[in-house]
Amino acid sequence: MTIPAPTLRRRTPLDPDQTLLSVLIPVYNERETIDLIVEQVRATPIHKEIICVDDHSTDGTQQVLETLLAQGKIDLLFRQPENRGKGAAIRQALSMSRGDIVIVQDADLEYDPDDWPVVLEPIIAGRADASFGSRFLGGPHRVLYYWHSVGNHWLTTYSNMLTNLNLTDMETCYKAIRGEVARALLPKLTANRFGFEPEITARLARADARIFEVPISYSGRTYAEGKKIGWKDGVAAFWHITKFNLFG
């Protein structure tokens, strides 16, 4: 898919005071953290809309989200009729967005909204169509899981070989994208689970988008604390990278 050049190549800086950020929050069984992350998001001094998609949670998350909606702490809420995965939840949230920029925010407290200004700056300045927050460019991070970092490096390297990008963290959650670019790509997005990360990276590369990468902090959590991604998702990611780069 090729995005028309005038859309992709806009270089006019955005007015920070007038820019609307759409915060896309996919949620699945995060009853203990969803209200905390929403408060962090709301406290960030950026004009924004907060869109939550509950991926058919079974632990009471939906009731917490309904309360947050009634209190006006989130702007839009959608509940998936069945559990479909993170990628499907992000697509649903993206379809409901209207922001000049969109960014995905996980609900598990691993990523800090205080990093948004750094992530958004290249787009607001008119220098980028997308900005990736890298956990491996020197930001503070919790020390965890050596083999996770090795797996991430392998996946990022393989993705870079096929996209001809030089990213350090293809799997990062913090991918900010100009709203019109993200919504133009929406009809082509198909990955339902964690394949969203390699797919959106491949789609942006194929569209010749200008991508920046900036350092962010990271506070990873353990499996006992609720981490969901596992080795099977890593194996699936290799297939997604191959599929979306070689077969479109």
Structure confidence by residue, pLDDT tens digits, 215-237: 999 876 454 544 556 667 678 88
One-letter amino acid of 160 = N
Task: Please identify, in words, the CATH class of the domain defined by 16-246.
Answer: alpha beta
Q: Which of 153, 165, 154 is nearest to 207 (CA)?
A: 165
CA end-to-end span of the chain, whole Å? 9
Nearest 5°: phi and psi at 48? -150, 160
Q: How far apart are CA 156 and CA 9, in angstroms?
A: 26
> What residues of the chain score a pLDDT lower than 70?
1-11, 139-148, 220-231, 233, 248
| Cβ-proximal residues to 240 (8 Å cutoff; 6+ apart), any chain | 191, 195, 198, 199
β-pair partners for 130: 177, 211
Domain boundaries, the chain: 16-246
Q: State the Cα–Cα distance between residues 167 and 153, nearest whole angstrom.
A: 10
Any idea what DSSP says for residue 30? -
**For residues 104 and 199, what is the distance between their CA atoms, to the nearest angstrom?**
14
Q: Is 212 exposed, middle or buried (0-12, 13-18, 19+ CB in 10 A)?
A: middle
The Cα–Cα gap between 237 and 230 comes to 11
The string of pLDDT tens digits covering residues 137-176 is 876 565 555 666 777 899 999 999 999 999 999 999 999 9
pTM over 0.95: no
